[in-house]
Amino acid sequence: MSEHNPFGTMHATTIITVRKDGKVVMAGDGQVSLGQTVMKGNARKVRRIGKGNVIAGFAGATADAFTLLERLERKLEQYPDQLMRACVELAKDWRTDKYLRNLEAMMLVADKDITLAVTGNGDVLEPEHGVMAIGSGGNYALSAALALMDSDKPADDVAHRAMEIASQICVYTNGNIIVETLDAA
């Protein structure tokens, strides 16, 4: 991931979040690739963190992502029920800390109130239309989900179908899809 393009192609995974009709859903595939080789097909890249009231998904280097998840959990302990503040503080640390600056990962996080993408460039971004995606198949999943948002499909169906479509196009995304759901405000 280059500093000039934080949403550049990461040969890592696909993570999508959909906020619709009182639900927030995050879905991710299970493929871990090393170059052109699939190393693992059933990794869990979407999980609940904090007290279980935040969903997080990551794309990028696995060890880097776990480091960031741990740091975010500490920020959530410091700023309970303030996901935006915790993410802004994490992004500040990520941008300024010499060690963290070298981490190659991105995260999507959501609670009942807000959905955010957090990057190493210091970005903390909210989706414009209730949908956001990251990773190598992120643009495919995003496009599919946006097309489905006007349908009568619930949020979990939109996210799952978008992931299925991405897995058919992106060689770094598989069909082993993990979905986490929260009730939204």
Q: In the prediction, which pLDDT does 8 show?
A: 43
Q: Per the structure block, which two tokens stand in for 117?
A: 């993408």
CATH number reported for the structural domain that contains residue 154 in this entry: 3.60.20.10
In this prediction, residue 1 carries a pLDDT of 40
Residue 183 within any structural domain of the chain: no
pLDDT at position 28 is 97
**Nearest 5 degrees, angle CA 17-CA 159-CA 157?**
140
Is residue 19 situated within a structural domain? yes
Number of domains present in the structure of the chain:
1
Residue recorded with tokens 């948002």:
149
Q: What's the confidence (pLDDT) of residue 5?
A: 37
pLDDT score of 35: 80
Catalytic-labelled residue, pool 9, 13, 62, 119: 13
Structural domain boundaries, residue 52? 14-173
User: Could you say which residues of the chain have pLDDT below 70?
Assistant: 1-12
Contact between residue 46 and residue 156 where contact means Cβ atoms under 8 Å apart? no
To the query of whether residue 9 is one of the catalytic residues in this protein, the response is: no
Q: How far apart are CA 87 and CA 133, in angstroms?
A: 17
Residue 178 lies in a domain: no
CA count, 13 A, side-chain hemisphere, 161: 14
Task: Answer whether residue 132 is part of any domain.
Answer: yes
Question: What per-residue confidence (pLDDT) applies to 10?
Answer: 43
In angstroms, the CA 29 to CA 21 distance is: 24
Half-sphere exposure of 144 (CA within 13 A, CB side): 24
What pTM was estimated for this model as a whole? 0.90
What pLDDT does 98 receive?
Answer: 76
